[in-house]
Amino acid sequence: MGERPVMSTSLNPVFIIAKREIKDQFRDWRIVFPILGLTLFFPFLMNFTATRLLDFVEQYGASIVGERLVPFLFMIVGFFPISVSLVIALESFVGEKERGSIEPLLNTPLKDWQLYVGKLISSIVPPLVGSFLGMSVYTIGLVINHVRLPDASIMIQIIVITIVQAVVMVSGGVVVSSQATSVKAANLLSSFIVIPMALLIQGESIVMFWGNYSTLWWAALGLLILAVLLIRVGLAHFNREELLGREIDVLNFRWGWHTFLNAFTRSAKSLGQWYRLAVWDSLKRLKGSLVITLILVMVGIWVGVRQTQNFGITFNPEDMSQIDDKIRDILNIWPVGKIGPIALIFWQNFRVVLFSLVLGLFSFGILGIIPLFASVGVTGYLMGLLQMNGMPIEQYLAFIVPHGIFEIPAAMIAAAAVFYIGVMLATPNAEITVGEVFIGAVADWCKVMVGVVLPLLLIAAFIEAWITPRIVMLLFS
């Protein structure tokens, strides 16, 4: 009996899946009509708008508005068809599941990544084809109407951004589709993609009218990293069993709370046991993230110190001589025994830690490093300035070291814990669902916060309010 070779490592199955899906999409008028409309009619409309607006603003000599408008509309014409890609991507897995056609597909020798990448490609290609057609129609219209085309470099930049945006939207959409239980749920969850993309387009629009096109390359790079991470997360948590197993959408708070509590307490019976079992274990797992954070801290300080070359300020010698008066003022405002300044410093640091978490949750941990990076950058800049103005090293270190011994490690551990959430999400784990991974990662963050970071920040706040100013005073007197 015929036993066929398994095409386990081949890319062929990827293209077989993609080819079928693309063919199928072009048979669906619900996809074809919007793409056609956005490809033919919309660029024509944008062309008309560009020509009329150029004529209008020329009357008032505001030719710069027209110049900036032409590439902006080029971007918009390209973006509208790729918005369709999200609809296709959201439907890719969960739609097949609803129609019952996913199971026969899962029964074939296809590997998970082959199916996943096939779906990804099939969701990207038709909208991108539409996008390029739309851009072509728009460009041809500009040529016919004798409107000066934007620089080739800007057009290439916009095309690259369009492609990367499509990949981000699709990879996000496919992640949602592979994890959602119904098309309805996937559509509701898509707001997590639509809203950031809308904000991004607004940001890009501002940059384009501002004319700072080099910034767009950074946006493209950031999006590319995000796309890679989204694909990685999607592949890491793609699970045939989950795809078929989940039938209903239930927001199970009780389950979520129990999962969190189990991960947080690790069934510890006492505080000592909790530190040994739960906190220490989480800290150990942060090793890699801590190394990365440490490197970024050093880079941040170096960048900060380097900025003194660009933004160096020479202190007024009179001000320098008054520095001990200013410190004395602080000692009067922050007397030993007064809790207010401690609460204020602690609250300020705690807010930064929370802000880091919020940023990290939306960026797979990456942007969670930014508050720390910015803080050490500013610190490095100030250190550079003080050195530049002839202050001895022991004096300016006295401003930082006493409380910094506690505050800096706390901030680094906090940033590493946020970064680790992203690491957990991007790590393949067939045993548990992406929801469990997320709850576990947040529980890890909470453990590290409660067990290590917050106590350290509290100690640092005490020292910063009561001890640091006095040490500085001693050195300056």
Partner 1 sequence: MIETKKLTKSFDGFLAVDQIDLHVPEGEILVMLGPNGAGKTTTVRMLTSILRPSAGTATIAGYDVIKDAAKVRSIVGVLTEHHGLYARMNAQEYLEFYGELYGLTVEESRARFLPLLEQFALDPYVKKRLGEYSKGMRQKLALIRALINNPPVLLLDEPTSAMDPESSIMVRNAIKSLKREDRTIILCTHNLNEAEELADQIAIIQKGKIIFNNYLNDVKKSLLGNPIFEARFLSEIGDWSPVDFPGVYVIEREKNSIKLEILEPEESNPKLIQVLSHVFNLISFEEKPRRLQDAYLEAVNLNGGKASHVNQP
Q: Sign of the C-alpha dihedral, residues 425, 428, 429, 430?
A: positive
Cβ 4 to partner 1 shortest distance, Å: 5
Cβ 250 to partner 1 shortest distance, Å: 12
Cβ 67 to partner 1 shortest distance, Å: 46
The rounded distance, in Å, linking the Cα atoms of 216 and 46 is: 22
Q: Which residues contact 350 (CB under 8 A, 6 or more apart)?
A: 454, 457
Cβ 105 to partner 1 shortest distance, Å: 8
Q: First vs last Cα of the chain: how many Å apart? A: 95
Residue 467, Cβ neighbours under 10 Å: how many? 13
Q: How far is CA 54 from CA 69, 77, 153, 305, 407, in A?
A: 8, 17, 21, 46, 56
Please, which residue, 96 or 407, has the CB nearer to partner 1?
A: 96
Structure tokens that stand for 65 in this block: 């508005």
Q: How large is the angle between the packed helices 214-236 and 152-179, nearest 10 degrees?
A: 20
Please, which residue, 8 or 395, has the CB nearer to partner 1?
A: 8
Please, which residue, 21 or 464, has the CB nearer to partner 1?
A: 21
Structure tokens that stand for 267 in this block: 């069934």
Please, which residue, 20 or 351, has the CB nearer to partner 1?
A: 20
Cβ 11 to partner 1 shortest distance, Å: 13
Please, which residue, 115 or 128, has the CB nearer to partner 1?
A: 115
Cβ 103 to partner 1 shortest distance, Å: 5
Please, which residue, 95 or 196, has the CB nearer to partner 1?
A: 95
Q: Which of 170, 160, 228 is nearest to 197 (CA)?
A: 170
> Footprint of partner 1 on this chain (CB under 8 A)?
1-8, 12-13, 16-17, 20, 24, 27-28, 99-111, 240-241, 244-245, 430
Please, which residue, 206 or 244, has the CB nearer to partner 1?
A: 244
427 and 300 Cβ atoms separated by less than 8 Å: no
Q: How large is the angle between the packed helices 393-426 and 214-236, nearest 10 degrees?
A: 50
Please, which residue, 50 or 437, has the CB nearer to partner 1?
A: 437
Q: Which of 106, 103, 95, 102 is nearest to 185 (CA)?
A: 95
Please, which residue, 104 or 337, has the CB nearer to partner 1?
A: 104
Helix H or strand E segment including 35: helix 29-36
Q: How far is CA 346 from CA 162, 411, 452, in A?
A: 44, 12, 14
Cβ 6 to partner 1 shortest distance, Å: 5
The rounded distance, in Å, linking the Cα atoms of 135 and 129 is: 10
Cβ 240 to partner 1 shortest distance, Å: 5
Cβ 254 to partner 1 shortest distance, Å: 12
Helix H or strand E segment including 224: helix 214-236
Distance of CA 168 to the CA centre of its chain: 11
Structure tokens that stand for 411 in this block: 């901030």
